[in-house]
Amino acid sequence: AGGDVTRALMLDKSDKVAANALIGLWREQVASRPSDPNSHLGLARALQVAGDLTAAQAEYKTVVQLNPSHPHLPAARQSFKLALAKQEAKKAYDLAQSLEKEGALSAAYQKASDAVGLYPSDKNYKAYWETLGEKIRAQGIPAAPPPLSPEAAAQLAALAQPGEQPPQASLP
């Protein structure tokens, strides 16, 4: 049953019924086996898939406390970093759209650049960034790729583990 709920949630991230069911199953598992890192890892993943990254991070920290050399931690860490970058990119994209509606094209362009830099594989972010660039150029303003904003650069740096290089921003 848990696998079916996980698949349902993966197909539709907004399915709150599936999210709550999956999280509930893993919470029961953690309650019955509080010292089992695999139970906490399952709960962390369920929370992450449901979009609750703050709670997921707390569970991942519990896994590290219980078993710092757990074989699934490297993959979990990468998955979490990607989810966090995706979430931050969405915030930047949404802000870019709001700024554009207010007529602040240059600021919108910067935020769209941040979204592309944080999550370069999203084609919608890139297309939107390019569209904003065209609108800016149509007004006679040069639209060279701006550097990431200090906030986006800090977010990328925060995704790196100590001693590890942060992910590279990939602007078109």
The predicted-structure confidence for 38-66, as pLDDT tens digits, reads as follows 999 999 999 998 889 999 999 999 999 99
Q: What percent of the chain has pLDDT above 90?
A: 63
Please report which confidence band the pLDDT of residue 170 belongs to, taking 50, 70 and 90 as the band edges: very low
pTM: 0.73
**What local confidence, expressed as pLDDT, does residue 45 receive?**
92
Q: What percent of the chain has pLDDT above 70?
A: 76
Find all residues with CB under 8 Å of 126, minimum gap 6, and list them: 116, 120, 172
CB 73, CB 63: distance < 8 Å: yes
Q: Is the pLDDT of residue 147 over 70?
A: no
Range of lowest pLDDT (2-6, 10-14, 20-24, 161-165): 161-165
Please report which confidence band the pLDDT of residue 171 belongs to, taking 50, 70 and 90 as the band edges: very low
- Provide the CA 2 distance to its chain's centre, in angstroms: 24
The candidate with the shortest Cα–Cα distance to 44, out of 28, 32, 66, 61, is 61
Q: Which two tokens stand for residue 79?
A: 């998955």
| 131-159: b (≥16 Cβ within 10 Å) or e | ebbeebeeeeeebeeeebbeebbebbeeb
Q: Which two tokens stand for residue 98?
A: 């709001």
Q: Which two tokens stand for residue 47?
A: 């929370």
| C-alpha span between 128 and 64 (Å, rounded) | 39
